[in-house]
Amino acid sequence: MLIVDDEEHIVELLHFNLVNAGYEVLSANNGIDAVKIAKAEKPSLLLLDLML
């Protein structure tokens, strides 16, 4: 799973809760990093801030 949001506190909150629920979580704070991570890791789910 890849979380993408430009607000760091939102990413941290989602990351913490999803990891505690047993998910493997990656995160990015901007679109450029998100694309690089998505190409390299091919996550099964992408949580994306559409207003990014």
Residue 50 within any structural domain of the chain: no
pLDDT computed for residue 52 by the predictor: 77
Q: What is the pTM of this model?
A: 0.88
Residue 16 within any structural domain of the chain: yes
Cβ atoms of 28 and 34 closer than 8 Å: yes
Question: What are 1-14's pLDDT values in tens digits?
Answer: 999 999 999 999 99
For the chain, how many residues are written?
52
Residue 22 within any structural domain of the chain: yes
Q: Give the number of domains in the chain.
A: 1
| Domain extent at residue 24 | 2-43
C-alpha to C-alpha distances, 9 to 4, 21, 39, nearest whole angstrom: 12, 18, 25
Question: What are 33-47's pLDDT values in tens digits?
Answer: 999 999 999 999 999
Question: What are 23-34's pLDDT values in tens digits?
Answer: 999 999 999 999
